[in-house]
Amino acid sequence: MGSDTLFYLFGAIAIGASLAVIGQRNPIYSVLLLIASFGALSGLYILLDAPFVAVIQIIVYAGAIMVLFLFVVMLLNAPHEETEYDERVHPLLRSGPTRFGVALAVALMVELWWALTKGRETGGFPEGSVSSVAAIGRSLFTDYSFQFEVTSVLILVAMVGAVVLARREPRRPRSPGNQ
Amino acid sequence: MDSTELVRSLQEAVPGATLESAASLDLHATIYATRADLPAIARALRDGAGLRFDFLAELTAVDFSPREPRFELVYILVSTELVQRIRVKVRLPGSDAHVATVSAIWPAANWLEREVWDLFGIVFDGHPDPRRLLMPEDWEGFPLRKDYPVQITMVPRTAEPLQVTEQQFRASVEQDRLARK
Amino acid sequence: MSAFLIAQIVLTLFVFVMLLSSAAVMVYAERKVAAILQQRMGPYLVGPKGMLQPLADVIKLMFKEELRPRAADAFLFALAPMISATAAFAAFAVVPFGAETTFFGLLSEPLRLQVADVNVAILVVFAIASMSVYGVVLAGWSSNSKYSLLGGLRASAQMISYELSYGLALASVLVMANSLSLSDIVNHQAGTWFGVVPRWFLFIQPVGFLVYMTAGIAETNRAPFDFPEAEQELVAGYHTEYSSMSFAMFFLAEYINMVTVSAVATDLFLGGWHGPFLPASLGWVWFLLKVGAILFFYIWMRWTLPRYRYDQLMRFGWKVLLPIAAVNLLATAAGVLYFGI
Amino acid sequence: MADIKTEVMTVNMGPQHPSTHGVLRLVLELDGETVLSVAPTIGYLHTGIEKTTEQKKWQQVIPLVERMDYLSAQSNSMAFCLSVERLLAVEIPERVKTIRVLLAELQRLNSHLVWLGTHGMELGAVSVLMYCFRERELLLNINELIAGFRMFPSYNRVGGLREDLPRGFHAAVREVLDRLPGKLNEYEDLLTKNEIYIERTRGVGRISKEDAIAYGLVGPIARAAGVTYDVRKAFPYLGYETFDFQVPVQTDGDVYSRYLVRIAEMRESIAICRQALDRISPTGAFAIDDPRITPPPKDRVYTEMEALIQHFLIYSQGFTVPAGEAYVPVEGPRGEQGFYVVSDGTNRPWRVKSRAPSLLACQALETMVVGGLIADVVAVIGSIDVVMGDVDR
């Protein structure tokens, strides 16, 4: 099997699974399809001769972040998406968050188109710089050290924010007298 | 402390209460109280100086049917502080067997009173949770009464196997799904 | 088709069969060791000294009826044990278990005793281990049983907490060996210091080894960290509703995961197949001995210690183990920079 | 800021669950794994023994009451016999009293061993169970030796014992008593200083001294909370005042304290057993000499007409007990235990009520469990040592 076939296979899985993610009513299935999509993506990375990135993709996204997603979905015990809207109304005509979603989708499309056309102009990345772990490490801590540190700080801020948001006042246990 | 002495100190703590001390074979101080006086006496027994019966060891009833008054409630109390025991008894008529609860004074009485209600049908006024304790909730009759037959064939309904059809089961599961949605 | 390729295929099949039988051996060893610890007989009826007991168990499990709760999610319920078992087998693929050998001249070029030699092997083990949690979590969720759900929730929380320490403990070894390939790491540990002490990373990285083993036990859901099943609390946790072969797959996965964790620990910290007295071609004997010792330790722990409590484990993971692992990594990196090991 | 909305999960723990000690059912409301409320439901083992006793002759009640609290058979039947003997106003021989003390203490050891084993197993230390049952086997062997029955010997009789002690009794008991202290050290090695065990039990299932008294808790649970009440010391029976022993007390009222109290109690029981064993002569009176109550020895039944008639009367008619009521408390393995017995002067009891320490312990479960985790529920149920046969009767 040539690498072209593999590329189309993984690509099809990635796109198909991603589309199915938003088509699912059951959030658990959505999460699983997203994982499948990540798996296909990491297959694509391997085809690009970047096994390190592929494995990291699995460890970080599929192995850690999606487990958290699944945890939350299970904890909320929401087997089906709540459908508040009337099914007969066309999605684009519905109010509130849906319109916002449509706007976001349009923005994403435009960005994607822009990025693809731009990418073709610059001609992609230099060869061989992504395959070796040492090379990745070196470029992260030399050429891109500022970006790396900024990202770290950003994640730290997000983490602190999450802790603050999720913190709850300690629940007072009910005493047996007052129930 | 023997029963006459106890009666005297109780009488001081609850003036106007009708109390009588009774002979007992097992050397337990035993007193009879009336239904009306019970809450005041219970409080005095727990808090009174020289009494301090903080520990309700046992609460049960005896059915003396066909004698009237039919029921006798028995409270066995222990003072862990002064190391003494007392037995307080309350006579209840069979026609209207009810008495004030003491579960606010001794929390231990909660289940014990439920058990007495369950098995003897004695009502405890003001009980926080007046349900059956040992028998199934839909049981009829009070098994430890003397007029309750020893051998009966009564099928507790809660233990009957649930007979549902396939469709009913599916509908129920679906309903549950909808409810959880 | 070259002899080399055939050898490779045979090797792969061999590893697969060996893993299957290692689970059987583990079941027998677990029951026998537990029995000895508890001063009783253990299995003794089936076969000599009860050695065929695992076989009897397998046959029994195969002929059991496969039950599925009516309200369960059929697809995921069937999928979950497969994920567990597949992940367990896949993780071992990149673990080397012996030096390169030509099988006494049968092969023209030396064959590495490893199913797939990937240069990021250690990360692959780690990635697959992190995927194996899905089997447990999905089993818990799809059973539509509250105890199973609690087991699944515990599993996911536990995995996330312990993967970090696990990864950091691995990283400190990677820094020392300066490679991501398990074979390189093992070969880095060949030889001895002063002619006596083997050059195992265990002696330079005792803290790393402890962290790795603790996190490894938590990752494989073994006592005293077996919260997802915790039969005294959650009945049987995530596999409460499973029966027959689907249950057997979880069982199999648990034992194979133990073997994998032990094998990786041997490669990382105990010098893999390097050892005195034996020629290099028989290195796998040393490997087996070391893995066996760690597995015995696993069983010993299980039958001696009470179970930890779930929140205590989480607190321990985040507040004790993770800082220790992080400090250890920093110290290792500093040491490597300064001494240039 | 508004709370994140989380759903409370209702979990049915029992009546079929590996660690609810039989058929106790707890309806738990959980927030994550934190217990918000617990509603114990009992009655699944309700066999109506109290009603049944009213149809039985006095001596027929003994095997019945032994089956209530199936881990302390000897204590049950002894407490019942003491109450009936009080009604009959008979004084039993000194030797019988001492034998009863010995048997009751052996029963306490037996019960505590089962408790320790199951408690250890529920916390995941499975080997402790095996070790404890190994020693319990020896105690059951003693039951088998004296009565031919291991769990429910029915060896106590109103007015004494069924028969004299068998040959070799002293040696058998002494062997067990010599063996036990070392084995207790073994259990303590596994648990007392075990970091995981301490973390699992210390501060868990705490109950205050005041609550313990108010909820009618007795025995090791109350003594772990600082209550010094022990029937053997407070209201001595069977000559307990002549024995030299301590009542172990802790003050924390948590699971760990209960464990320490029970372990210390086992050591005290061994001491009492040794003292009792020294006092018991190998042969001697084993029942009162009262033809109304005690059947004549077998050799006289076979040779004398009067003895045969007496034997026949006791086993067909039973004996009558004067009208009245009696309650003699004893210290069973689970605390104050006793039978409130009412007689109407006939050969059958009018009412027998067992004071069930386990029932009240179940009731207090709520105070101990709420606010803890689901794993603590298991630890607490184990630590209060409920016997469902005693709860439901």
Q: Is A79 on the interface with B (CB under 8 A)?
A: yes
Question: Could you read off the pLDDT of A88-101 as tens digits, one per residue?
Answer: 555 555 556 666 77
Position A87 pLDDT exceeds 70: no
Question: CA of C73: how far to CAs of A21, A29, B65, C146, in Å?
Answer: 18, 11, 59, 14
Question: Could you read off the pLDDT of D194-225 as tens digits, one per residue?
Answer: 888 888 888 888 888 888 888 888 888 888 88
Position C111 pLDDT exceeds 70: no
C131 CA: distance to closest CA in chain A (Å):
5
B56 CA: distance to closest CA in chain D (Å):
6
CB contact under 8 A, B133 and D55: no
Question: Could you read off the pLDDT of B40-97 as tens digits, one per residue?
Answer: 888 888 887 777 888 888 888 888 877 878 888 888 888 887 788 888 888 888 888 8
pLDDT score, position A169: 56
pLDDT band at A176 (very low <50, low <70, confident <90, very high): very low
pLDDT score, position C187: 77
Q: Which residues of A touch B177 (CB under 8 A)?
A: 79
Position C340 pLDDT exceeds 50: yes
Cα distance between residue B177 and residue B179, in whole Å: 5
Ranges of residues in chain D whose predicted pLDDT is under 50: 1-4
Mean pLDDT check: name the lowest of C166-175, C320-329, D252-261. C166-175
Q: How close are the terminal C-alpha atoms of chain A, in Å? A: 69
pLDDT score, position A129: 46
Which of D31, D36, D367 lies at the smallest CB-CB distance from A176? D367
Cα distance between residue D3 and residue B94, in whole Å: 54
CB contact under 8 A, B177 and A79: yes
CB contact under 8 A, B181 and A77: no
CB contact under 8 A, B180 and A79: yes
Which of A52, A64, A68 lies at the smallest CB-CB distance from C120? A52
Question: How many residue pairs from chains C and D have C-beta atoms closer than 8 A?
Answer: 80
Chains within contact range of chain D (3+ C-beta pairs < 8 Å): A, B, C
Question: CA of B70: how far to CAs of B20, B62, B92, B120, B130, in Å?
Answer: 18, 8, 6, 11, 22
Q: What percentage of chain B carries pLDDT values higher than 90?
A: 0
Cα distance between residue B70 and residue B122, in whole Å: 11
Position A107 pLDDT exceeds 80: yes
pLDDT score, position C110: 66
Which of D125, D374, D377 lies at the smallest CB-CB distance from C305? D125
pLDDT band at B179 (very low <50, low <70, confident <90, very high): low
Mean pLDDT (whole number) for A125-153: 74
B133 CA: distance to closest CA in chain C (Å):
26
* Cβ atoms D34, D373 nearer than 8 A: yes
Q: Is A63 on the interface with C (CB under 8 A)?
A: yes
β-partners of residue B56 are B77
Position A177 pLDDT exceeds 50: no
Q: Say whether the ipTM exceeds 0.95.
A: no
Residue matched to tokens 């089936």: C46
Question: Could you read off the pLDDT of D260-319 as tens digits, one per residue?
Answer: 899 999 999 999 998 988 888 888 888 888 888 888 888 888 888 888 888 888 888 888
Domains along the sequence of chain D with CATH: 10-391 (1.10.645.10)
Question: CA of A53: how far to CAs of A2, A119, B105, C269, in Å?
Answer: 21, 20, 70, 26
Mean pLDDT (whole number) for C58-70: 83
Mean pLDDT check: name the lowest of B132-141, C229-238, D30-39, D211-220. C229-238
- Delimit the domains of chain C by residue range: 3-339
* Cβ atoms D216, B106 nearer than 8 A: yes
B177 CA: distance to closest CA in chain A (Å):
9
CB contact under 8 A, D213 and B74: no
B40 CA: distance to closest CA in chain D (Å):
18
Nearest to D202 by CA among D109, D123, D267: D123
Domains along the sequence of chain B with CATH: 3-151 (3.30.460.80)
CB contact under 8 A, C130 and A64: yes
If you average pLDDT over every residue of chain D, what do you get? 85
Q: By CA distance, what is B176's nearest residue in A? A: A79
pLDDT score, position B153: 66
Position A61 pLDDT exceeds 70: yes
Chains within contact range of chain A (3+ C-beta pairs < 8 Å): B, C, D
Cα distance between residue C208 and residue C172, in whole Å: 7
CB contact under 8 A, C311 and D376: no
Which of A32, A35, A51 lies at the smallest CB-CB distance from C120? A51
Name the residue with higher pLDDT: C221 or D225.
D225
pLDDT band at A168 (very low <50, low <70, confident <90, very high): low
A83 CA: distance to closest CA in chain D (Å):
18
Q: Is C137 on the interface with A (CB under 8 A)?
A: yes
pLDDT score, position A43: 85
* Burial (CB count <10 Å: 0-12, 13-18, 19+), residue A20: middle
CB contact under 8 A, D37 and A176: no
Which of D6, D32, D37 lies at the smallest CB-CB distance from A174? D37
Q: By CA distance, what is A176's nearest residue in B? A: B107
Question: Which 3-state string (H, E, C) describes chain D?
Answer: CCCCCCCCEEEEECCCCCCCCCCCEEEEEEECCEEEEEEEECCCCCCCHHHHHCCCCHHHHHHHHHCCCCCCHHHHHHHHHHHHHHHHCCCCCHHHHHHHHHHHHHHHHHHHHHHHHHHHHHCCCHHHHHHHHHHHHHHHHHHHHHHCCCCCCCCEECCEECCCCCCCHHHHHHHHHHHHHHHHHHHHHHHCCCHHHHHHHCCCCCCCHHHHHHCCCCHHHHHHCCCCCCHHHHCCCCCHHHCCCCCCCCCCCCHHHHHHHHHHHHHHHHHHHHHHHHHCCCCCCCECCCCCCCCCCHHHHHHCHHHHHHHHHHHHCCCCCCCEEEECCEEECCEEEEEEEEECCCCCEEEEEEECHHHHHHHCHHHHHCCCEHHHHHHHHHHHCCCHHHHHC
If you average pLDDT over every residue of chain C, what do you get? 80
Mean pLDDT (whole number) for C5-9: 77
Q: Which residues of A touch D31 (CB under 8 A)?
A: 171
